Amino acid sequence: MKHELLSHLSELKNVNILSDEKASPYIVSFSVSPVRSEIFLHYLEKKNIFISSGSACSKGVSSGVPALFGASAKEEDSVLRVSFSSDTSVEEIYSLISAIKSGQDEIMTY
């Protein structure tokens, strides 16, 4: 699943992948600039897609972890995190990618 998501994310504009193939097989972090992660999370929630923002270590404040993976200071506020389980399907990955594309078109036009 991780490889599938990374492959599709790499094709999207304004997306910076922070996770690499060697990192945890259960988590992918990326940023969608210049949209704040909170805005994108709410957009995805309306489409019944639930992911997280920031790093798992942040607890409401910047942990510095995204910067360690190459996120700029501006990108740190737009980091999204996807966690996988054995129940995650390819269809869910495709739904997420489709929602990110439509979110970029809708949110970035304002």
Helix/strand/coil percent split, the chain, to 5: 40, 15, 45
pLDDT score for 58: 46
Distances 93 to 10, 42, 66 between C-alpha atoms, Å:
13, 18, 22
Instruction: Please state which CATH class domain 2-107 belongs to.
Output: alpha beta
Q: What is the pTM for the complete model shown?
A: 0.82
Residue pointed to by tokens 């190459």 = 70
Assess whether pLDDT exceeds 50 at residue 13.
Answer: yes
Summarize the confidence of residues 81-93 as an average pLDDT.
95
Please report which helix (H) or strand (E) contains residue 62, including its range. Answer: none
Average pLDDT, the chain: 84
Percent of the chain with pLDDT over 90: 57
Give the Cα separation of 98 and 18 in Å (integer).
20
Domain boundaries, the chain: 2-107
Summarize the confidence of residues 98-110 as an average pLDDT.
88
